[in-house]
Structure 1
């Protein structure tokens, strides 16, 4: 088995090499839902704001069954599995966040273990001390045993719940009722956009900072602050990969953003919409804005993308408030995604085995 560093955003052959494993592993991790498309993988494999991203794939040795092809990733090469690791350069400088994508058929071949070792090596070379990874509960049951976690000095830090709403079953009349002003929130007006208008940019960034106090279990993560430069970078990155954004914001009587919800749609995933973020600033909580914002955004999606089937979202299992809002809207838990953290040895230390 060979492990290679890849650049799928620059090399179409390398994207082709990763996409089958990405789609197969995703369908296994999230059964019953459509496979993701290339646009999502490309965006994840491209560095974010003040971030370095490393993509590494596992390939069969030449001459083995399922030959991986040449070193460029061409020749019909197909990865057995791969990982994407992000390290931030302005905050969380001790942390490397990694996601592994390995179809079940390759797990018995030692692919998961090889990619885990590569993730540790890449994190160590980046000078990081913590390696964070999350797995679908289905995958975790197969590859993340207590023995594995303890043997590598790891620990369970938190757990996210992925919830899904079947748009074929929604009650539009109820959504319209929730999206309408109530006695508690009638003083707020709503605005929508794909790219944030300049007049709201500073206020929107301040509202995005409301995400910083969301429950994260025992996972230590610094959200930092959102600057307009960062906002514009994220928007431009989405445009590059054809992502459509549904942003709904609530304005208080002074014209400042009190809360928001953001949904995204990938161009090659017509059935699926994702909630990216929802937040209400501290001073405006308790007015039912979260439910009203989400109901309004759902109605927008239903009008704009009538062929969409699912809206999906992740919430930490400690975030009872947002989970309650989602359950009221009709979301059902799809899977749990436990998150783990492993120590990273300093460069030159013995690799974890």
Structure 2
């Protein structure tokens, strides 16, 4: 009862401060994960309370508005079959992001879901069947043509980017929640979400490249230093664009071709570099090491398959896992001194590092199989190309 009263007091006190609510959800989720014992009745009450908050504030069954400003809203990214649903539901990312409401802020969606899935997982011994409909449910998002973004108003472009960031964060938390589930249907949906995460993050990079706006992404990660006044606020992201020459084409000259090719290659390299830098500056929700469970799946060669582990998704997962490993393991090597600029509150945790090392060790035999598969795949395609050239 006392714990419930404290939770309710914190909720009332932080109602006007969305960042504080999100921070509280993240911290409470961490506490629940590591707690050895939690009162059964308190756990049941808290699970029902936060699940109801998610359902009442973020899940809709119809579009509240089909258009907000210049943008049309539609339900996208649905993976649930009609036979799996009694009614169509969607996460109202676009509606809440485009129509600012004082009572409900879309920024707390991902932290709230992390808390919801942590509680359900703890209550049901890791089984998330009670909330698995959320994995495949649709997302209310703006419909837009990425080729026309360059001609849109800057406020519209920023709104699109905000929606994409919130959507990809929702998908990232879905991955963190469902990566360990063993049901085959859920695994297929998880792999679909992996592809969609990669797709949306690519969209974000492309929009930052083609538009000429300064963009300050919504806050997605929260740490105590911000509320102590110790954090360093990141500057808005300035999209770097390559200048387009409008001069008339000069008559072709064979002597100029090598230089032209060289310039084109340099321009392409700069474009890729700028895109990577722009995307790197977006502070997305972190992916957990639970993604290692996805590497235990069998690897297939068909990159067009959306429901299996293929070479394309393997590459993306390894990149995400590597970023996580660096934060957990390498932080001990990069010891901070009083001269070091404190940009994050990451502290080396020996217990967490040991658990991380064990998790990686468990998946290494499967990774060796994947490496052999990729090597064989490359060799076979190399031989085919050699035969085609000689033939």
**TM-score, normalised by the number of residues in structure 2:** 0.27
Say which structure is richer in helix.
2
Say which one has the larger Rg.
Answer: 2
